[in-house]
Chains A and B, each alone.
Chain A
Amino acid sequence: MDMNEQNGRPRILMCPPAFFGIEYEINPWMDRRRSNDHERAIEQWTTLKTLLESLGATICCLDPVPGLPDMVFTANAALIFRNQAILARFCHRQRQGEEQHFRDWFERHGFELLELPRDCFFEGAGDALFGGGTLFAGYRIRSIVSGHRRIAERLGCRVLSLELVDPHFYHLDTCFCPLNERAAVFYPPAFDSYARRALSATIEDLIPVSDAEARRFACNAVVLSKTVITNEGCPALHRELRSRGFRTCETPLSEFLKAGGSAKCLTLRLDGEDAAAWRSDRIASAPSCDESQQSSTGADSNVISTRVC
């Protein structure tokens, strides 16, 4: 593990699920008739947090806000590039209330804020993931492609726009996960044929996941150096990853799958994903996470049924 190299541990933004629930339906996974188990959600979230901490990550917690149940999915808060946060512009009005809270948090923590125009929908790291020097960006369902050009101009990097075609995989991070600068996990049917070809031409080692494991959110993984964390029920992907030298962890996240999210959606890497090439030259003065900002959820740090393989 190299968590502590380059002046720090991985820093991850999370938001306790105090107000998490299925209160509306903005993706095919959501069904208000199938509400989540609040206690279990807290347990699962806490287990994930504890697991990440055990792997060396520092967790920064954002205060949850009543009436914003999806705020728990912090991956959508922004796209992080060095000390810059490109803030989300949510497509659905149900989530637009989150924007101000995310904005305040990033501002308080010293990030340079970049805001897209009001109608330029962009759902943060949910739809934009670095792989090497390239930013892979999903569009057509939650984010619009015109935002990609603005981001490319601002960051000065190559942005590959990938069309998403399956509403079940409405964010790029539900069907694609860069592992490092040359490898990524993906679910091919979630992309149109042009996007599949662009990915094949760009990424040396593309690992496809099955339909069944894609629906277990296998691609919605958290990558901490050589460790990959997913929801339970993705054994085939884990085998593939282990054969490539990765460590794999699974942790139960069934309550969050009901809202269309899993491990990756619940986290936002504040110091940049491991697969991002810019991390190698990131500045030592990158914003840090003030421990005093961590909030208490009332949940403890019990670890339940977490396995490290």
Chain B
Amino acid sequence: MSEATKHAAELLPGLVEDIEVQGHIIDSLILPKILDCICAHGATFHIQELSIGRQRDDPSRALVQVRASTPEQLQHVLAEVAHHGAVPVVACDCRFETADADGVFPEGFYSTTNQRTEIRMNGRWIPVSGQGMDCGITIDASRGAARCVVMDEVKSGDPIAVGHGGVRVFPEERPRETHPFGFMGSKVSTEKPKGAAIRQIARELAYHRATGGRTAVVAGPAVVHTGSGEFLCELIRRGYVDLLLAGNALATHDIEQSMFGTSLGVYLARGAPAEHGHEHHLRAINRIRRAGGIRRAVEDGVLTSGIMAECIRRSVDFLLAGSIRDDGPLPDVVTDVMQAKRLMREKLRDVTLCLMMATTLHAVAVANLLPAWVKVVCVDINPSTAIKLADRGSFQTISLVTDVAPFLRALVEELSSTNDLSRPAEEMTDASVRADSRQPGTHRWT
């Protein structure tokens, strides 16, 4: 298991139980005793709720989440704190109903968020895998495993969680430390300094590369139009990119640029339109189609440079998802949107960092598939895109409003000049976070 994956695993809810203690727990020091007891047994706690009586005779109440490393440790802690009146919060098992048709959930199905989720089965909490928002939850009873299932993949007869009983969600926490970049704590703005944030992002990229994490890049064609394709190529060559998610346009204009020196018919070197340049991208598509695809074109020497060529040479996985606006499209484009969505979900499974640049629709599509704990960097010149992605109910998102070209140039420079990149960056934070971390983010971006 890579360090980054391990890091993610440590954050999983795992062995967690909520306990409640009531009474005059402050004056009698019962609450501090319970908290000390939890720590003394090697477990950790998080006070979720604490209400203190207003008058001396009023009781107080604390809801405390206990996290342990092993089942034995958890049971030991629970048994010990029970002596002091702390009892697990009464919970029921998750209820399931059978799907009565393919692609249809039972009425009252539990609709997931992008937050870590557990369900209770036979008195035990088990994690839900493949977390994503707007899914259902199904189980494999024989393995005692639960996973998210999307609507169109549900099969008649599948057990599907219904209601909210026996389901618990773990919202991502706001970093306790003051974020070193104060500007991250406010609304996305075009009037914020970018240097420190880019340095931060460089550290994140380096950390995930160094520790075996998996970084996905979601890029729009503006990366090529603005002449910054070469910077993305550099990131790929240096091993900072593990997965590229894009549409027909990015690949098409990248290949056009490689073959004709233009993007959308404009010479990138001079910024001047080429004669009949508007045909270039069609001719590029046509050559790739004739070659039998991007890989064959690279292997046959038809395509020799650019983002897609670097992906082929560096064995960087990519997925091009199509749309009805596409010219061609390139043979590599997946034109069945449901198939493309399934593939995206599959490829995003182990991603630990996602860099979204100069794309609205693709960024939204990918973000909808990501669990809340994956760090996301969104760079777009359109503030509404940045805000939309920043408002994903997570403290794990950085949004920058900027032209992608200076961003990528500065990022590559930072990666070249930063010495110690082996440590993780300070906690990234959402540019427009909400104060209440207990409310899971379930926004769907459209």
Contact = CB atoms under 8 A, between A and B. Distances in A.
Interface in A198-244: 198, 201-202
Interface stretch (B22-30, B163-171, B185-193, B424-432): B22-30
Contacts of A160: 24, 27-28
A116 interface: no
Contacts of A145: 23, 30, 83-85
Nearest to A147: B85
B28 A152 contact: no
A221 B84 CA distance: 28
Q: How large is the interface on A (under 10, 10 to 19, 20 to 34, 35 or more residues)?
A: 20 to 34
A200 to B, nearest CB: 11
Nearest to B33: A194
A125 B22 CA distance: 22
A159 interface: yes
Contacts, number: 58
Nearest to A151: B23
Nearest to A153: B59
A192 to B, nearest CB: 8
Most chain B CB within 10 A, of A158, A163, A197, A201, is at A158
A28 B27 CA distance: 31
Contacts of B83: 139-140, 144-145
Nearest to B27: A160
Interface in A132-151: 133, 139-140, 144-146, 148-149
| Binding site secondary structure of chain A | mixed
| Binding site secondary structure of chain B | loop
A158 B57 contact: yes
A156 interface: yes
A156 to B, nearest CB: 6
A36 interface: no
Interface string B6-30: 0000000000000000111001111
B130 to A, nearest CB: 40
Interface in B13-69: 22-24, 27-30, 32-33, 56-57, 59
A34 B24 CA distance: 42
A148 B85 contact: yes
B32 A194 contact: yes
Contacts of A139: 83
Nearest to B83: A140
Interface string A153-181: 10011111111000000000000000000
Contact of B57 (A148, A156, A195): A156
Interface string B109-151: 0000000000000000000000000000000000000000000
A161 B32 contact: no
Contacts of B22: 149
A161 B23 contact: yes
Contacts of A162: 28
A165 to B, nearest CB: 11
Given A148-B23, A152-B24, A163-B84, A197 B29 contact: yes
B86 to A, nearest CB: 9
A160 B87 CA distance: 18
Contacts of B84: 145, 161, 163
A160 B22 CA distance: 12
B28 A198 contact: yes
7 contacts: A144-B83, A149-B59, A152-B57, A157-B57, A161-B28, A192-B33, A194-B28
Interface of A: 133, 139-140, 144-146, 148-149, 152-153, 156-163, 192, 194-195, 197-198, 201-202
